[in-house]
Amino acid sequence: MSVHPNNPALKSWIEVPQNSDFPIQNLPFGIFKTAQSTERVGIRIGDFVIDLKVLFVLGYLENLPFELSDFDNKYLNSLMEKGKKGTRDLRNRISKLLDSNFTDLQKNEHHVGQVLIPIDQVTMCMPVKIGDYTDFYSSREHATNVGTMFRDPANALLPNWLWIPVGYHGRASSVILSGQDIHRPKGQIKPDPNADPIFAPCRNLDFELETAFITFDGKALGDSISTAEAEDYIFGMCLFNDWSARDIQTWEYVPLGPFLAKNFASSISPWIVTMDALEPFKCDGPEQEPKVLSYLEFEGQKSYDINLSVNLQPENGEENLICRSNLKYMYWNMSQQLAHHTVNGCNIKCGDLMGSGTISGPTEDSYGSMLELAWKGTKPLKLSDGTERKFIQDNDTVIMRGYCEKDGVRVGFGEVKAKILPAK
């Protein structure tokens, strides 16, 4: 008997708190360690982590294309090398082992004790060894807001924007795990437009609310991935805060685009939610007009209904909800981004990370950056402790969360969180 792992009726014999991001219908992958154990692959359910290394050693993962080293590993890359089918079969197997209707693991108390680890006993680690990092610029609302502020409200979108999923190559070395604090970057800024630039700590530090997807191995150099094939090359998604130094960016970005304003840190959430788990939350995206070129055309639903939020927490203060957005607002979907990325023959690799670009919605409370929320500093945000923010201050913590919800099932990402420390 086989039950689809996304079936809303599925229940696990492991208790999952109501409103948890991690019911049996999710089963995201991550890397964790404990006081007693080295880094290894885990799957999250409720407030527990399933130790896949131990599960493998105990013989529960037989007849799957994996070996011990795929689970006894500092990264998910080795597991992701098995591609869509291998990782799908693995998630299906875990789903069955955790399903209340199946007793194989459930009945073996001794094994359960070895495999199931309470979340408060684990330390999460960087899930993926990221090869290349690409960031897109795919929210029409965000691009329009930025164009309005910095160029011309009448021509806010540049002429190419409605034709090309605009992107740039970022830097993988500074993609870091949620929870790692970041020192305020320093660089060249030009606070007085009529004077020479100065070297100083960034004054306009910002977050960017994004999601990111992680790829499987792509095709050979010279080949392209179509929009119809794209989802077969995507393992899963995480939350992504693409930290940005707006004053450094303003001075440096012409003519080649972002450089030091963007490459000092980008934070990701620790659990990679598979595209399989997100399948029930597909939806239509915005209508695309003018009609896109043929290699960007697609069939069916390629957007995802993922609720996103940003909270800002001052030191010793409470969280302030400052933004609610949704991935469904994105103009260019992930399949189009990947098709565009490879249309020239560029090869993607297992473990590449692709950022969505800042995800702004249509309303002022759905803008995905401080730049937009406080409208270039002209509308400071008021926090519950009485202070105001135009940008992020030292010792502020930014927390992003995301989840999907449908038919009584909530599939979420947890959070990506980081605190800004003073400049070194």
Taking phi over 0 as left and psi of -120 to 50 as alpha, with beta for the rest, 27 belongs to: left
At 328, list the tokens: 């469904």
Report the nearest approach of Ca ion to the CB of residue 242 (Å).
Answer: 4
Residue 133, SS3 per DSSP: strand
Whose Cβ is closer to Ca ion: residue 242's or residue 415's?
Answer: 242
At 306, list the tokens: 């993922």
Report the nearest approach of Ca ion to the CB of residue 250 (Å).
Answer: 15
Residue 327, SS3 per DSSP: helix
Report the nearest approach of Ca ion to the CB of residue 356 (Å).
Answer: 8
Q: What positions carry a catalytic annotation?
A: 142
- β partners of residue 45: 48
DSSP assignment letter at 293: P
Report the nearest approach of Ca ion to the CB of residue 164 (Å).
Answer: 16
Report the nearest approach of Ca ion to the CB of residue 268 (Å).
Answer: 13
Whose Cβ is closer to Ca ion: residue 135's or residue 231's?
Answer: 135
Whose Cβ is closer to Ca ion: residue 117's or residue 214's?
Answer: 214
Report the nearest approach of Ca ion to the CB of residue 379 (Å).
Answer: 22
At 249, list the tokens: 């960016």
Report the alpha-carbon distance of residue 167 to residue 118 in Å, rounded. Answer: 40
Taking alpha carbons only, the member of 177, 180, 165, 178 closest to residue 134 is 165
Whose Cβ is closer to Ca ion: residue 98's or residue 212's?
Answer: 212
Backbone angles phi, psi at 382, to 5 degrees: -95, 125
Report the alpha-carbon distance of residue 225 to residue 335 in Å, rounded. Answer: 9
Whose Cβ is closer to Ca ion: residue 29's or residue 137's?
Answer: 137
- Cα separations in angstroms, 238 against 38, 126, 177, 217, 402: 23, 12, 11, 18, 9
The helices-and-strands tally (H runs, E runs) of the chain is 10, 26
- β partners of residue 213: 237, 354
Report the alpha-carbon distance of residue 369 to residue 391 in Å, rounded. Answer: 9
Whose Cβ is closer to Ca ion: residue 143's or residue 339's?
Answer: 143
Whose Cβ is closer to Ca ion: residue 208's or residue 396's?
Answer: 208
Backbone angles phi, psi at 33, to 5 degrees: -140, 165
Q: Which long-range contacts (C-beta less than 8 Å, at least 24 apart) are formed by 36-44? A: 38/72, 39/73, 39/74, 39/125, 40/71, 40/72, 40/73, 41/70, 41/71, 41/73, 41/76, 41/79, 42/117, 42/122, 43/91, 43/94, 44/119, 44/271, 44/414
Place of tokens 């420390």: 421
Report the nearest approach of Ca ion to the CB of residue 165 (Å).
Answer: 13
- Cα separations in angstroms, 281 against 325, 332, 335, 347: 16, 17, 15, 29
3-state secondary structure 79-140: HHCCHHHHHHHHHHHHHHHHECCCCCCCCCHHHHHHHEEEHHHEEEECCCCCCCEEEECCCH
Report the nearest approach of Ca ion to the CB of residue 266 (Å).
Answer: 8
Whose Cβ is closer to Ca ion: residue 51's or residue 208's?
Answer: 208
Q: Which residues sit at the interface with Ca ion, rule CB under 5 A?
A: 135, 208, 242
Which residue is closest to Ca ion by CB? 242
